[in-house]
Amino acid sequence: MTELVLFVLFGIGALAGAIMMVISRNPVYSALGLIAAMFSIAVLYVVNGAHFVAAVQIIVYAGAVMTLFLFVIMLIGVDQPEDTSEQLPIQRPAALALGALLLVGFLIVIGAGTLAGSDEGSVVGTVEAIADELFTNWLLPFEVTTLLLVIASVGAIVLAQFKLRDRR
């Protein structure tokens, strides 16, 4: 029952986010819609017992990829008028055709009845299993990646600070 409620709630959330992303005129709203859609999908993963995939979905897609998108949007500037004319005349019919194809694919899969929730314990890539590996066998590589983060921030300072001082 909980599963169904969550599915309906966050399914609607994902759909609403996706629609908002496509139709909104302001690119920032589009990005927010995409975040909402990705977050809702992550909740669906949790419901299906795929906790690790859900965490990755949040960290990588809703976190890192979206931050990158937002950087691009900020760099381009939100106040600039968008060129909404379509360069490729085939784009719209092609999108409709591919969308229809995807729908047919989903309907076939659903019709075949192979969609089932997870059985408890059947999931291999659980968070516990990954954490076990990460904090025992792969502890040192995991720690060394922190050095990469330090280098990234130190490097950003080294390369950016010069310009900052130059402009003054």
Partner 1 sequence: MTNALYIGIGPIIAVTLGVVVLLMVEVTLHPATRVWRLISFGSLISGFILAIVQWADAANNPQPIFSHMLMHDGFSAFGSIVLIIVAALGLLVAWPLVENDRARGAELVALVLLTTIGLMLLVSAANLMMVFLGLEVASISLYVIAGFIRKGARSNEAAVKYFLLGSFASAVFLYGVALVYAGTGTLEITAIAGPQFAGLTQTPVLLVGIGLIVVGLGFKVSAAPFHMWAPDVYQGSASGVTGFMNAGAKIAGFAALARILVVSFDAQRGDWGPALAVVAALSMVVGTVLAITQTDLKRMLAYSSVAHAGFIMTALVGGGAGIDALWFYVVTYAFQVVGAFGVVAAISGVASDESALKQYVGLGRRSPFLAGVLSLMMLAMAGIPLTAGFAGKFGVFRAALEAGYTWLVVLALVASAVGLYFYLRVIVRVYIDQETAEQPRVVITDGMRFALTTVAVLTVAFGVNPAPLLTVVSNALPF
Among positions 125-154, residues that touch partner 1 (CB under 8 A) are 136-141, 144-145, 147-148, 150-152, 154
Nearest approach in angstroms of CB 131 to partner 1 is 15
Of 40, 4, 2, the residue nearest 19 (C-alpha): 40
Helices 127-135 and 139-167: crossing angle, nearest 10°? 80
Binding flag, residue 116, partner 1 (CB under 8 A): no
Nearest approach in angstroms of CB 150 to partner 1 is 7
CA atoms of 28 and 19, how far apart (whole Å): 14
Nearest approach in angstroms of CB 56 to partner 1 is 19
Contacts of 16 (CB under 8 A, 6+ apart): 33, 36
Judged by the rule CB under 8 A, the positions of this chain that interact with partner 1 are 136-141, 144-145, 147-148, 150-152, 154-155, 157-159, 161-163, 165-166
